[in-house]
Amino acid sequence: MKDPLIDKYNVPGPRYTSYPTVPYWQPEFFSVKKWMNEVESRTKADPAISLYIHLPFCEKLCTFCGCHKRITVRHEVEDPYIAYLLREWQQYHSVITREITISELHLGGGTPTFFSPTNLAALLDGLFQQPGVNLPDRPRYSFEGHPNNTTKQHLETLYQYGFRRVSFGVQDYNERIQKAINRIQPYDHVQQVTMDARAAGYESVGHDLIFGLPFQTLADIRRNIKYTQRLMPERIAFYSYAHVPWIKGTGQRGFDASDLPPANLKRDMYEYGKEQLQGLGYEEIGFDHFALPGDALSAASRKGTLHRNFMGYTEVNSTNMIGLGVSAISDMGSSFAQNEKNVERYYELLDAGKSTVTKGHHLDHRDQVIRRHLLNLTCRLETSWNEDDMKFDVLPEVLDRLEEPLKDNLIQISNNTLSVTDRGRPFIRNICMAFDLHLHQNQPENRIFSMTV
């Protein structure tokens, strides 16, 4: 039976890896000088930083992908890109006035394993050997690996540099779906690379699974879970395909919208997959994520230290995050900054001695309070405005917008505390949208977000 709430709440909405979301940043009020001053002051107050390194190159275009990437088979692009990354790192290091510790590091893409193990080692040497840079006793270093090209040498090399977590993009095991999204990788490849990672000593292996892909059915989800059970990765990202071809251009036009499952079937896929994963012992973390009880992400969820940012869910609140590379986003708590998205222009800025940051947003007091509420909702499924520092001037408007979710038993509100019900977990993005002042003040003329279901 079709759930009437699906039609009611299936609207375009953000995924809330930040607040304000990128389309609602105010770059006209952003200052690169002020941004760099914040980097200096924040690292002076707290020397622990997180690094996100964007490695944009892929040999083939996956037609489900919404990331910033450059498609090429020319591996000679590796050396110059690493050289420019390290020049950008030097720009940041020139304004950091005390010793820092790289406590968290993530290699994302694109395809990080497009780069050779030797070149990845050269990149990490350049990052780590900068004077004044320290490494922690227990680093939280991770990378995204492609099952088709992640070699034992990749795994062993990165392990030597402190990496203990890796995630592999699986998406779906059905060959017809793989052809539609141009991501052909048999189960044997996923099995082998998962086994290789464990043999190398990795503590946490993650698999990304997507529901809502073209031609996908409940039988495909059943098959995906069956194969997952054979390998039992420590973490699962089980998330909805975001169809945004109007933003990503030809990259998401390898199939017709009519080939996609309808919203009610997508929700059935998620509920079935969730039930099966929980039956295997996985715990639901935030939304769209699952982890085995022994994994650090599950422990963080139980302890209440779970955090969410542009790197996804993390174990601790990383308040100082620097993004390096094209399109990378940095987060200093009170400001966001995003790099130039075009590779050649990124190089030109560095050649001219200029900052690679081309847009950003300085959060005002209200932004910061609402951001804390959204982090509470996406990480702990509840938030409260009992304390003065969690109150803001338009809270009555937010409560008015929450009337419908309250009637539909998606949330409970008592003693100035909002809790998301089990019924409401699939609609967490919609609940967050009630708090999103920028979204409600500036409704876009054209659709810019994927559907929430």
Q: Which amino acids are annotated as binding site, given as ranges?
A: 52, 58, 62, 64-66, 109-111, 144, 171, 183, 208, 242, 329
List the one residue out of 260, 285, 242, 87 whose CA is nearest residue 180: 260
CB atoms within 10 A of CB 420: 22
Q: Quick one: tokens of 74?
A: 């020319």
Per DSSP, the three-state class of 359 is strand
CB atoms within 10 A of CB 268: 19
Compute the distance between CA of residue 272 and CA of residue 265 in angstroms, rounded to an integer.
10
DSSP string, 2-32: --HHHHHH--B----SSSS-GGG--GGG--H
Residues of each annotated binding site for [4Fe-4S] cluster:
58, 62, 65
34 CA to centre of own chain: 26
Handedness of CA 97, 101, 104, 108 (dihedral sign): positive
Q: Quick one: tokens of 46?
A: 């707290």
Compute the distance between CA of residue 12 and CA of residue 163 in angstroms, rounded to an integer.
36
Cis peptide before 109 (omega within 30 of 0): no
Residues of each annotated binding site for S-adenosyl-L-methionine:
52, 64-66, 109-111, 144, 171, 183, 208, 242, 329
| Structure-token match 């708090």, residue found | 435
For 134-158, b where at least 16 C-beta lie within 10 A, e where not — what string?
eeeeebbbbbbbbbbebeeebbebb
Contact 19, 379 (CB under 8 A): no
Altogether, the residues listed in the chain come to a count of 453
Compute the distance between CA of residue 274 and CA of residue 184 in angstroms, rounded to an integer.
25
List the one residue out of 181, 175, 108, 113 whose CA is nearest residue 150: 113
Q: Which residues contact 77 (CB under 8 A, 6 or more apart)?
A: 57, 70
Indicate the DSSP class of residue 262: P
Contact 214, 182 (CB under 8 A): no
